Amino acid sequence: HVEDEEEKMSPSKKQVLDHSVKVATHYNQLQEVGLAARSRSRIFFMRNFNNWLKSVLIGEMLEQVRGAGSQQVSVLDLGCGKGGDLLKWRRGGIDHLVCADIAGVSVEQCQIRYDEMKKKSHRNEKIFTAQFITADCSKELLSEKLDDAELMFDICSCQFVYHYSFESEQKANMMLRNACERLKPGGYFIGTTPDAFELVKRLEASDSLSFGKEVFKVTFQSKGSYPLFGCQYHFNLEEVVNVPEFLVYFPLFEHMAKQYNMQLVQKQRFADFFEEKVKKENHRSLMMKMMALEPFPSEDGLQASDSAEEYCHAKEHCDRADVRTPLGTLSRSEWEATSIYLVFVFQKMS
């Protein structure tokens, strides 16, 4: 475990181990678990929900890009991890994908997944071409590592990643540069990241330095003052994450993005995004498939338009919340964890 390893180190070595190394080590050590094990996880539904949300976001942005006339669609998956979004890019019919992540083992697994996907595809299905890069995207310039030096992207997707870079202005800026400098005019920088306002609100409401229950716990080092960069907290989410993250003060993010000619077009909390998107039939049926849910029950008076929070809450009273069946849904604590996040979309002005 990263923390244990750190304990054994001499003070000088400790200093060298900066947060990027911690992040890479942590993600490299995460084991790839099969679907069966994943479905037993206490955050199974939360994962599915997050995947649904990313699918909707990615699908809608690809529609925008195509609508604007882009023929050859290229995407940068910044902080791709093990390639959890590969299928979404395949479904979206993109032409080229660049996957980059600081964790080498994850990038390797991502590439293996891609190779398998290609092998298993139908003969007449054209799978996108891809490049895989292991790099600390908050320190290194990705454009120098591209196979095609001229490549420009329609979309940069940065899912659950950007907050790691807010350790310092330099890092946050380099990550942003990597996300934006190779975007075509009109291209999009999309992503998901914790909402600093929500985190601070919950911290301030807590009588300790932490909050969260069951599946997650967020712990700060102090409260009352929150520096713009390097405001560290630990987000402990079941087996998934226990590495330092940093508050992303959104107005500052938006301001920094302007340097790259990026304009904010959408910023929405997960709860609001869910409420809006689930009203659309196609998104709703995808949600039901992904969550393996039956249509929202009408006998307990809940409609699709009810907020996810109400829905999950009510469902806990109807069902036994601790029973995980394919018909189950997010538990209250899963919802409390996922509702910390927000979706953002920036567009590159000419």
The contact set with ligand SAM (CB under 6 A) reads 20, 23-24, 27, 79-81, 84, 101-103, 106, 136-138, 159-161, 164-165
Cβ-based nearer residue to ligand SAM, 20 or 206: 20
User: How far is residue 326's CA from residue 290's CA, in Å, rounded to a whole number?
Assistant: 10
Shortest distance, CB of residue 279 to ligand SAM, whole angstroms?
A: 24
Q: Which amino acid is at 317?
A: H
What is the pairing mode between strands 244-246 and 341-348? unpaired
User: How far is residue 337's CA from residue 343's CA, in Å, rounded to a whole number?
Assistant: 15
| DSSP-assigned beta bridge partners for residue 262 | 348
Shortest distance, CB of residue 68 to ligand SAM, whole angstroms?
A: 25
- Indicate the residue whose CB is closest to ligand SAM: 81
Shortest distance, CB of residue 83 to ligand SAM, whole angstroms?
A: 8
Shortest distance, CB of residue 349 to ligand SAM, whole angstroms?
A: 26
What does the block give as tokens for 127? 């799978």
Cβ-based nearer residue to ligand SAM, 195 or 316: 195
Shortest distance, CB of residue 49 to ligand SAM, whole angstroms?
A: 13
Cβ-based nearer residue to ligand SAM, 179 or 321: 179
Shortest distance, CB of residue 315 to ligand SAM, whole angstroms?
A: 25
User: How far is residue 282's CA from residue 252's CA, in Å, rounded to a whole number?
Assistant: 35
User: How far is residue 213's CA from residue 201's CA, in Å, rounded to a whole number?
Assistant: 16
Shortest distance, CB of residue 240 to ligand SAM, whole angstroms?
A: 7
Backbone torsions φ then ψ of 113, nearest 5 degrees: -60, -40
Cβ-based nearer residue to ligand SAM, 74 or 106: 106
User: How far is residue 27's CA from residue 102's CA, in Å, rounded to a whole number?
Assistant: 9
233 in Cβ contact with 224 (< 8 Å): no
**How many C-beta atoms lie closer than 10 Å to residue 259's C-beta?**
11
Cβ-based nearer residue to ligand SAM, 57 or 183: 57
Cβ-based nearer residue to ligand SAM, 113 or 313: 113
The distance of Cα 194 from the centroid of its chain, to the nearest Å, equals 9
Cβ-based nearer residue to ligand SAM, 183 or 243: 243
Cβ-based nearer residue to ligand SAM, 237 or 287: 237
What does the block give as tokens for 223? 């409260």
- For the chain, strand residue ranges (E) read 74-78, 96-101, 129-134, 153-159, 183-194, 210-211, 216-220, 232-237, 244-246, 262-269, 341-348
Shortest distance, CB of residue 84 to ligand SAM, whole angstroms?
A: 3
End-to-end alpha-carbon separation of the chain, Å?
Answer: 46
DSSP string, 242-289: -SEEE---HHHHHHHHHTTTEEEEEEEEHHHHHHHHTTSHHHHHHHHH
